[in-house]
Structure 1
């Protein structure tokens, strides 16, 4: 597992993002295809407030941002991080006193700060989306406090992006606090936004804290079974109706408003205005929330082409296997063992289904240290809420359910809400995979290098487990019961073949 070894040997690094609304530090365990955050801290400074009307960064906001940067410098020192990348965006580049602030920011954080232009910001946001979704295709929109960046992402290739001065704080200033006036400003600005011409019927990837807050509000209003923002999907028509609701009412009166921080609430209506107009003009199929953006884009572009092409989901679950399985490597044994079983069973499987099956195999033993009565629940909770990228919510639910069923009865799991996220086909595959894994673990005690001695294969009539005479004692009543359970799931009988 080279990715795991590389992670262990690499040094931590950090990105500091001086945005128009917040100043944020994210420290990462290492530069990998699936970077793991070590520490994440932000301060809502409101640097962009007033810039659209006065042309200046307010002294109080600048002082608050500089204090945050000094804090971040101390935190990086305590974490032993020398590799720090600092970027500043719309508020700093648009303000007349931005250059002076940037110089002070560099003194505060102790490393040079890059002032990135709008086109570059759009590109980095799109790279962040490309790094964290499986085969993304659509339009990326990054809404900050000062600006909105739009760029087309087609088959992992970036088109020319645009930057528009209609971030949440900018709209609040320009409209004098009126969402109705803000809608007209946004409409006029977006009319010339070329990327929207390519949006119809495709996906709009929403990047930025205000849009994440909107999505969290939507998620909590519908009692969604996961609390994971990355990859959350809202159908286009539904998103448009929801955005218009947020525009016209007092957001503090909305159901589930407690799920949004008080500091974010004043910008919700302006984020809704921009989203409403994007949907009205572009007619996307769906809005998909991305927790990855400029910071992840900065990391992604530092990788070699070969590393970029690696599957971030598989790399992440390999890391889980190495850290938490009782015998790292057994998960890879399961991948090969179930490959042969699936082929012999003639169960057609798409490329995406195969990668999900492999991911589930690599996660199958991460909860072995828990009490046996709670392993299913722990597997389900850890995997459903894990920091995984390159996977949608249906895939995440599949992984969680398959690994929970590995420990518990799949017919009475009490997880109806999570099951609602997967198709009947995926749910069936989760049960079949879990039944096969239940045989594998009882035969191998979860140890790597053993499973290949017990091939599992299908004929038209039976599911057969082949065992050498010297290991026939492993075929206990429990093994036979589990073999019959698996066989019933695919309409066959269970049989054990003892080699002569």
Structure 2
């Protein structure tokens, strides 16, 4: 891996409504697309709450709070010096709470005088635009409506970024900002419940959301795509929505949910709108004898009723929503993503993240071999659509890591491999879908034989339950075994002096009973096939019916190996 160059470091202070986030990221090639974080720290100073007295009256941010902010800034300034961050590459971004504070100008002046940093006050529309770019950074492709729920406000917009495309399209006006952040809604809802005006508040929020949607002028192509798909995808970011996502994780059909990061988590419309279940789970977590929900603080749990109120209003006001995606990206990630050249933004995060581990620099040849192990067309129709699952990006990422665990002892290889996307080398990578984390983990595990110790069996089983179809699980077992053969033939990777040792070709045939038969032709140039009996038999075993994916109707294909 390349030596860290401090000239590529970027320090960011994100002054949010619920807290202040400090971070140092690297935009050094070749991994700038995933914006690796070297340092991050959050100070729980709520600049929104600081502007209200105990009686609920609006007030300026107090000197005590300002002093606390400045103290945390000075600490981060020292941290930036420790990391050798260039002084010109530290930015302070302020959002709703700071921008609308009564003493906003004086607040900024004190920071400048005592710390030496200018505060960039993001206008409402720009805050939404930067937040949308943060969402674009969080996934390989995005196409739908986006919402960022902060403490003081929420922004609504639309965005289109196709996988591999350099272009990120969004509303020319940036985003529509509404004063319905998690903290603000909590305050408004409490007041409405006291005065018996929750119905009026609901109508107000619904009207504001409907008006915001009309203002955005969502492109017809996006509307048509949503109609064909059965609704829009809604991309959600911000602390309030992330808290909602973690509660949904805690209620997921797979328990414990095996992926700890929120970014890339998907929920159906029904799950997202199950507000009563979420409210009950959050309320239970606040009781003294119950465990807290992972990554849901007491403050976030206390805001759940307000977020539920907003979610219900969204369901009534927005067009049909098919599914939601939760994103980690916000102002910080959006600011960094905006700085990247278009051709870098077009890169696939999981490929960029795994390329540094391609030590033999032979992954392209390995990926081509893996691709050739798939028949050109599917034999089983739409329910076995392996081409849309095992995309070039997934195969490239898999090939990049095929040799990574070679130095581990045999009893550790499959275990380390299956955990690498959730607690290992790829755990902190920004921009990866949960589906991709799951797929890559299981592929790598099966590349090393798929056998894990009892302590990891439940984790593996939970990952397998996240795979949407049993056909995909079967192909994971198959292509993992094929990767094992490729790595055995090329133990040090594919090089100029050993190209052509192995060639694969797959095609469909039929058994005597008319069932599908996957014929894999294996050509070993100048090699004794008996030396690779174990790897070849491992592929054949995947085709044995007892190894098919079980249930009432076993799923799989018989495999016939032809040595040519």
Same fold (TM over 0.5): yes
Partner of 1:332: 364
Does 2:466 correspond to 1:401?
no
Partner of 1:25: 22
Superposed CA RMSD: 3.1
Does 2:166 correspond to 1:162?
no
Partner of 1:367: 405
Of 306, 320, 331, the match for 1:294? 331
Secondary structure at the aligned position of 1:425 is classed as helix
In structure 1, the gaps of 5 or more residues are none
Secondary structure at the aligned position of 1:333 is classed as helix
TM-score by length of 2: 0.78
Does 2:167 correspond to 1:119?
no
Farther off after superposition, 398-407 or 285-294: 285-294
Secondary structure at the aligned position of 2:85 is classed as coil
Partner of 2:562: 495
Of 8, 11, 14, the match for 2:8? 11
Partner of 1:278: 314
Q: Distance in 1 between matches of 2:411 and 2:439?
A: 21
Q: Would the alpha carbon gap of residues 474 and 286 (structure 1) be closer, same or farther in structure 2, given more than 3 Å must change?
A: same
Partner of 2:534: 478
Farther off after superposition, 219-228 or 474-483: 474-483
Partner of 2:292: 257
Q: Distance in 2 between matches of 1:399 and 1:118?
A: 39
Partner of 1:192: 208
Partner of 1:392: 433
Cα displacement (A) at 1:292: 0.8
Does 2:506 correspond to 1:453?
no
Partner of 1:171: 185
Of 250, 269, 276, the match for 2:305? 269
Counterpart contact for 1:145–1:169, Cα < 8 Å: yes
Q: Would the alpha carbon gap of residues 273 and 360 (structure 1) be closer, same or farther in structure 2, given more than 3 Å must change?
A: same
Partner of 1:227: 260
Q: Deviations over 1:276-324 (max 9, x none)?
A: 32223224222221111111111111111211222222111213x24xx
In structure 2, the gaps of 5 or more residues are 162-167, 380-384, 510-518, 545-555
Partner of 1:416: 461
Q: Deviations over 1:313-343 (max 9, x none)?
A: 2111213x24xxxx33233331122223335
Q: Distance in 2 between matches of 1:408 and 1:357?
A: 18
State how 1:77-96 maps to structure 2 within 5 Å: 77-82=81-86, 83-96=89-102
Cα displacement (A) at 1:405: 0.8
Cα displacement (A) at 1:459: 5.3
Q: Distance in 2 between matches of 1:426 and 1:10?
A: 44
Counterpart contact for 2:375–2:508, Cα < 8 Å: no
- Equivalent residues, number: 488
Does 2:352 correspond to 1:315?
yes
Partner of 2:155: 149
Secondary structure at the aligned position of 1:350 is classed as helix
Q: Would the alpha carbon gap of residues 266 and 439 (structure 1) be closer, same or farther in structure 2, given more than 3 Å must change?
A: same
Q: Would the alpha carbon gap of residues 292 and 378 (structure 1) be closer, same or farther in structure 2, given more than 3 Å must change?
A: same
Cα displacement (A) at 1:148: 0.9
Counterpart contact for 2:138–2:264, Cα < 8 Å: no
Q: Deviations over 1:327-385 (max 9, x none)?
A: 33233331122223335687775355322222222233333333221211111111245
Q: Deviations over 1:160-188 (max 9, x none)?
A: 31111122222344455666867754641
Q: Would the alpha carbon gap of residues 206 and 492 (structure 1) be closer, same or farther in structure 2, given more than 3 Å must change?
A: closer
Q: Distance in 2 between matches of 1:328 and 1:182?
A: 63
Does 2:481 correspond to 1:439?
no
Q: Distance in 1 between matches of 2:429 and 2:399?
A: 15
Q: Distance in 2 between matches of 1:294 and 1:144?
A: 10
Q: Distance in 2 between matches of 1:349 and 1:221?
A: 29
Farther off after superposition, 117-126 or 249-258: 249-258
Secondary structure at the aligned position of 1:285 is classed as strand
Secondary structure at the aligned position of 1:295 is classed as helix
Q: Distance in 1 between matches of 2:300 and 2:4?
A: 35
Counterpart contact for 2:16–2:96, Cα < 8 Å: yes
Q: Deviations over 1:386-444 (max 9, x none)?
A: 23444432222111111101112479965221111112232122112101101011112
Secondary structure at the aligned position of 1:137 is classed as strand
Q: Would the alpha carbon gap of residues 458 and 153 (structure 1) be closer, same or farther in structure 2, given more than 3 Å must change?
A: closer
Q: Distance in 1 between matches of 2:438 and 2:199?
A: 37
Farther off after superposition, 182-191 or 438-447: 182-191
Cα displacement (A) at 1:114: 0.7
Farther off after superposition, 29-38 or 393-402: 29-38
Farther off after superposition, 203-212 or 243-252: 243-252
Partner of 2:520: 463
Cα displacement (A) at 1:36: 1.4
